[in-house]
Amino acid sequence: MEHRLIEETILSIPPLDEKTQTKARHHVDNLTKPLGALGRLEEVVVRLAGMTGEIIPVIDRKMTVVMCGDHGVVEEGVSAYPGDVTALMIQNFSRGKAAVNVLSRQFGADVRVVDVGSRLEEAPPDVWVRKVRSGTANMAVGPAMTREEAEQAVKIGIDVAKQLKEEGVQLVATGEMGIGNTTAASALAAVFTEREVSEVVGRGSGLDDTGLERKCRVVKEALRVNRPDPRDPLDALAKVGGLELAGLAGLVLGAASERLPIVVDGFIATAAALTAVRMAPAAREYLLASHLSQEPAHGWLLAELRLVPLIQAGMRLGEGSGAVLTFPLLDGAVATAREMATFADLGL
Ligand SMILES: Cc1cc2ncn([C@H]3O[C@H](COP(=O)(O)O)[C@@H](O)[C@H]3O)c2cc1C
Ligand SMILES: O=C(O)c1cccnc1
């Protein structure tokens, strides 16, 4: 069942609307400024035009989707924080008190929290509970989850994207919460970039040197035990990924199939986005990179995706916070295209 829906979604991702994109490029080039002077903001407008099919794209209704899940591998001591923090943060999101809530309020976006697999037993009513299982298994001793579970989590992400489209959402940001998930993201990064484990593992939420060394050993062990297949993204997601990462990969596939622009957050969200693009290369066209995280391998993941981040603010938070921080830049870019005079308006 899930398998069919995933296949159908992948096949239904449309290419960018090249005609509209060319018209948008022409419009931007005729605005009253030196050619190219708005830099990457111009590229944002042109790409959004290709995604949405509108010369002046409308991205007023923005949604930050925070996919949540717990990680069995936390028992190996790979995070600076205990696993319980995932559940506490879900409650914090619900109260509107986490960084992602504050930034989303500040920049006029809504937040949707989806529990794909945390250990929280009773989620607050506004959280969408779509729990595949209560946390993954420890990837250092066996697969994090079954292929079927990974498919279920991907399907949940696809469903969320379709529901948001129906609600009138015009742009989504990818957020996540899951203590231990930089370990999973590093494992996926090792699989998809074929770099050394020591190059793709970082301090996550704040490991010291001993912790960092341990995390490297754990990722190596997880790859040795599970042998994830780099040509089979679902296999990698199931063996060394996570439920919220699979949910985000599904969100990317679903949003792309609905022509919804997707603003990708930091290292973890980018690992999920790269997984989605390995499943469906066409999905890449709907991604906008937001910021460059402090995690050392984030830049390589972005390079794999051929994306350049808009900002570098030294952040390493997750939750979608870096993606939301670029919303004023995106709104500014679109406003210039909508409101600036053209040279023709000046009679030139
Ligand atoms: C209080 C708190 C809030 C967070 N919000 C996002 N993360 C971030 O840290 C986690 C990944 O780091 P690691 O792999 O080292 O556990 C994820 O939940 C990520 O979203 C947080 C982490 C903490 C502690
Ligand atoms: O870049 C990220 O997404 C990130 C980095 C460290 C901890 N949490 C998230």
Assigned token pair, 155: 């399907």
- In angstroms, rounded to a whole number, what is the distance separating the alpha carbons of residues 188 and 202? 13
Which ligand is closest in space to the CA of residue 81? Answer: 1
Per-residue pLDDT, 3: 87
Tokens 């090249």 sit on residue: 18
CA 203 to ligand 1: nearest atom: 15
CATH class of 62-330: alpha beta
d(CA 134, CA 115) in angstroms, rounded, equals 10
Q: Is 45 in the pocket of ligand 2 (CB under 6 A)?
A: no
Q: Closest ligand 2 atom, CA of 176? A: 3
Cβ contact 151:250 at 8 Å? no
Question: Domain extents for the chain?
Answer: 2-57+335-339, 62-330
pLDDT at site 2: 84
Tell me whether the CATH fold assigned to 2-57+335-339 matches the one assigned to 62-330.
Answer: no
Instruction: Please report which helix (H) or strand (E) contains residue 238, including its range.
Output: helix 233-240
- Is the CB of 267 within 6 Å of ligand 2? yes
Q: Which atom of ligand 1 is nearest to the CA of 175?
A: 20
Q: Give the per-residue pLDDT at 243.
A: 99
Catalytic-residue membership of 167: no
Q: What is the pLDDT of residue 105?
A: 98
What is the CA(321)–ligand 2 centre distance, in A? Answer: 10
ipTM greater than 0.90, yes or no?
yes
- 178 CB near ligand 1 (under 6 Å): yes
Phi-psi region for residue 168, left (φ > 0), alpha (ψ -120 to 50) or beta?
Answer: left
CB of residue 293 inside a 6 A radius of ligand 2: yes
d(C-alpha 265, C-alpha 63), whole Å? 13
Ligand 1 pocket mutation, candidates 179, 215, 291, 315, criterion most atoms within 8 A of CB: 179
Inter-CA distances, 136 with 12, 69, 70, 111, 260, Å: 30, 8, 6, 24, 29
Instruction: Provide the 10 A C-beta neighbour count for residue 329.
Output: 17
Q: Per the residue annotation, which of 167, 244, 319, 339 is the catalytic one? A: 319
Would you call 313 exposed, middle or buried from its count of C-beta atoms within 10 A (0-12, 13-18, 19+)?
Answer: middle
Determine the Cα–Cα distance for residues 281 and 301; give it in Å rounded to an integer: 14
- The CA-atom distances, in angstroms, between 11 and each of 165, 250, 278, 280, 297 are 18, 14, 13, 8, 30
Residue type, 320: G
CATH of domain 2-57+335-339: 1.10.1610.10
Does ligand 1 come within 6 angstroms of the Cβ of 318?
yes
Distance of CA 236 to the CA centre of its chain: 17
For residue 80, the CA-to-ligand 1 centroid distance in Å is 9
- Mean pLDDT of successive 10-residue segments in the chain (348 residues)? 93 98 98 98 98 98 99 98 98 98 98 98 98 98 98 98 98 99 99 97 98 98 98 98 99 99 99 99 99 98 98 98 98 98 95
- Mutational test site, ligand 1, from 176, 177, 200, 315, max ligand atoms within 8 Å of CB: 177
